[in-house]
Amino acid sequence: MEVKVGASTLELVEGDITRQDTDAVVNAANEALRPGGGVDGAIHRAGGPAIEAECRQLRGCPTGEARVTTGGNLKAGYVIHTVGPVYRDGSHREPELLASCYRESLKLASAQGIKSLAFPSISTGVYGYPIADAARIAVKTVTDYLAQHPEIERVRLVLFGRAAYEVYAQALKEL
Ligand code: ADP
């Protein structure tokens, strides 16, 4: 599904983040920026060792912030690495840190002249964020940003599997 936000487009698709043809893809990274599991492992496997080498130079990334590397062998020219919060009980700034991941990634895209980017569902795998709550934060934060930043033409939220897609579609409808 797809909605217009001002001049920009917000799109939800079911798919694999490593196969997206957007200018950039976002990685659900860890603070060390070392290859891990889930999205991170998939991006490093598909993108090749150049991404890991660039990550090493960056010396980590705090939770809620974002860093950029090139895309290695991916179709996307860039990878934006952002570190989602590990979910404990929701009272440890998890909502604001998750919103910050989306916002800081988008700010970095604007600064780099990136016009389209694809996000996975940050923090909802190993980091344990309840997906319905995470989906509401993702669609709200991206929509608010696009309303103010027409230079970003397209944001694609890439959901792994039908169930995750349905949760995000519901969050977008309720917005
Ligand atoms: P985190 O550590 O931030 O929780 P994960 O990579 O463990 O990140 O998972 C984030 C979300 O991405 C989960 O919902 C997971 O199902 C999904 N996911 C896993 N692999 C892929 C992939 N190749 N493309 C898109 N989404 C993926």
Question: pLDDT tens for residues 55-95?
Answer: 999 999 999 999 999 999 999 999 999 999 999 999 999 99
Q: What distance in angstroms lies between residue 68's CA and the mean position of ligand 1's atoms?
A: 19
User: How far, in Å, are 55, 116, 144 from residue 140 at the CA level?
Assistant: 29, 18, 6
The rounded Å distance from CA 78 to ligand 1 centre is: 18
Domain limits of the chain? 2-174
Phi then psi for residue 7, to 5 deg, are -85, -5
* Residue at 51: amino acid letter: I
Query: Closest by alpha carbon to 118, among 5, 28, 3, 4?
Result: 28
160 lines ligand 1 (CB under 6 A): yes
Has 40 been annotated as catalytic? Answer: yes
Residue 165 Cα distances to 18, 113, 132, angstroms:
17, 28, 11
Atom 3 of ligand 1 has which residue's CA nearest to it?
123
- Taking residues 1-16, what's their average pLDDT? 98
Q: Which residue among 160, 165, 168 is best mutated to probe the pocket of ligand 1, counting the most ligand atoms within 8 A of its Cβ?
A: 160
Q: What pTM was estimated for this model as a whole?
A: 0.98
- Tell me: domain 2-174, CATH 3.40.220.10, correct? yes
Q: Which residue, among 58, 54, 107, 102, has the nearest Cα to 82 in the 3D structure?
A: 102
